Structure 1
Amino acid sequence: MPFYLKPLLPNTPDLGAWPPLRVYTNNTGAQWLSVADLVYLEGEANYTWLHWANGRRLLVTTTLKRVEAQLPPAYFLRLHRRYVVNRQFIEQAKLTFGKPMVHLVGGMHLPISRRRWMVLRSQFTLR
């Protein structure tokens, strides 16, 4: 039984109006990147992978918690201790082989922790 996200409230600010994310890399130094194209974040110890809609991946030397704090909470959902996802790219959430999973628009599947499944389920609706 798949679940789909409820639409955002009408008074929610546009994601394009959110300030860009400042990212440092060794090659180019500081960059300002739009969060509207950010699909999901993946944490690995004290590093975070940023996955963009165009397929670009960027590794930053910041914890997932610190990067998540810079993002708009109305758009970005914490799924798991390792994953934060942009709700605009979520296609559906369902139990796959008894485990809760989120299916993204690009074909990616990300796990949802058991504790967060019940909380996130309230934000989803049946279609």
Structure 2
Amino acid sequence: MSILLNADPRRSTTPEYMPSLRVNDTKAGWHSKPVNELIMIKGERGYSWLYWSDGSKQIMAYTIKHYADRLPENDFLRVHQNHVVNQKFVRKTLLTHRGPVLRMACGAEIIVSRRRWTMVKKALQHLSIID
């Protein structure tokens, strides 16, 4: 079963091309949601929690790698083994005793793995949010 509806998920998200994910909602059933509304994905034991900008979240029976491979590279970052984040929803980066942390628009704080911190810092430097 294909998750993405559009042919080339690696292209940038321009107005004429907006990739979407097909998700299952308990009330609405299967429908498509644009990936630009996806805040982050949290992986948990072979399942993925998808967090959306409207405040909703959904659990899907696919691994985080399944989604990470299909999301636009320019917009999403794999910051940890268990987290993929949408760059446009990152509000602040913090250096804490636990290591680097990203504060998201939804209020969640995501720990960045120490091996990925250099890549994440470079990708987010244009946002001027790095402390």
Alignment TM class, shorter chain as reference: 0.7 to 0.9
User: Following TM superposition, by how much is the alpha carbon of 1:18 offset from its aligned partner in structure 2, in angstroms?
Assistant: 2.1
- After TM superposition, list the pairs within 5 Å mapping 1:40-59 onto structure 2: 40-59=40-59
Q: Distance in 2 between matches of 1:88 and 1:53?
A: 11
Which ranges of structure 1 fall in alignment gaps of 5 or more residues?
A: 1-11
What do the CA deviations read for 1:11-54 (whole angstroms, capped 9, x no partner)? x4437832211123566542111111110000011100000111
Shift of 1:100: 0.6
How far is 1:98 from its partner?
4.8
Counterpart position of 2:104: 104
Distance 1:90 1:15, change over 3 A: farther
Q: What's the TM-score once normalised by structure 2's chain length?
A: 0.78
- Please tell me the root mean square deviation across aligned C-alpha atoms, in Å: 2.3
Q: Check the 8 A contact 1:22/1:31 in 2, yes or no.
A: yes
Q: Which residue of 2 aligns with 1:22?
A: 22
Query: 1:3 corresponds to which residue?
Result: none
| Structural mapping, 1:75-114, within 5 Å | 75-114=75-114
Q: Distance in 1 between matches of 2:47 and 2:76?
A: 18
Q: Larger relative CO (CA 8 A, sep 6+): 1 or 2? A: 1
Q: Which runs of 4+ in 1 moved over 6 A?
A: none
User: Using the alignment, how far apart are the partners of 1:65 and 1:57 within structure 2?
Assistant: 18
**Equivalent pair of 1:21/1:70 in contact (CA under 8 Å):** no
Q: Distance in 2 between matches of 1:15 and 1:119?
A: 27
Identity %: 30
Does the CA contact (< 8 Å) of 2:100 and 2:113 recur in 1?
yes
Unaligned runs of 5+ in 2: 1-11
How many residue pairs get matched?
117
Against the structure 1 CA distance between its residues 70 and 96, is the aligned structure 2 distance closer, same or farther, given a 3 Å change threshold? same
